[in-house]
Amino acid sequence: MTPVDLLRRLVAIDSVNPDLVPGGAGESAIAGACAAILAAEGFEIHRLEATPGRPSIVAIARGSGGGRSLMFNGHVDTVTLAGYDGDPLDPRIEGDKVFGRGAFDMKSGVAAMMVAAIRAKRAGLRGDLLVACVADEEYASIGTAEVARHFRADAAVITEPSHHELTIAHKGFVWAEVEVKGRAAHGSRPDLGVDAIAKAGTFLVGLDALGRALLASPTHPIHGSGSVHASLIRGGEELSSYPARCVVSIERRTIPGETGETLRAELEAIVARAKAADPAFEAEVRIGLERAPFEIA
């Protein structure tokens, strides 16, 4: 089996992350396919599924002894099928490229590492070779987190696409929400209502200023600087009423040395400045999912 043949087989399997797209297929079918392929080559198969319907597969080729262990790691989930130009599950070859949902991110890496592992096993190894086909990289990385709780290796190669460049540092991220408070009232009663969406505009101006300030002050030799943006905004019930709340969802990309508490302090400073300018301004900051940045020598 060539990497291209395997890639086309994997692309044809719907593995949309259900945390990104409600009702998405998830990883069960593709995890089963990867497990079957590797089991047929004599790999020892471990299925990890602490979250039902979100399995990760770890296949192990045991070495003869005296060698160090290596893990290949790649995720099998994809983003949405919506908006794809053509049939996203019908892999096609054009020139020297394969097209289909997940072909680049990152079923190509998964196919490459599986074929490399199969060839290495056939050649004979002294150390153990672990192949981790993991769930949920596109949302919260529950797959790799689960694998890391159960397996260790002396080194790991993550076959995420990097245009053939070694990646020795990676940004992290923090997700947060800022809920701007208003007061519900009928549109005919401006004396009673406080427009939370309008108040949120003040916060968004401050967030934009923070984003520009971060980009203007690079401190990391590889990443330069962190960044921040408003990803989602929701508020209001109907055209004829004042909205009682407006929630801004935020993503902060972090560089080594920055954490969720970094973002909390930045957002609370924006809220404090808004309140100083407008005593009626009221907002709550909530920090959500966080994944740390990292770098290695």
Query: Which positions are catalytic?
Result: 77, 137
* Interatomic CA distance for residues 47 and 178, integer angstroms: 38
- Taking Cα atoms as reference points, which of 55, 97, 105 lies closest to residue 80? 105
Task: State the number of CA atoms in the 13 A half-sphere of 179 facing the CB.
Answer: 9
DSSP state of 172: E
Residue of 111, 159, 117 whose CA lies nearest to 8: 111
The DSSP 8-state label assigned to residue 23 in this structure reads T
Helix axes 28-40, 108-123, angle to 10 degrees: 20
CB 246 within 8 A of CB 235: yes
Alpha helices in 93-136 (DSSP H): 108-123
DSSP 3-state assignment of 148?
helix
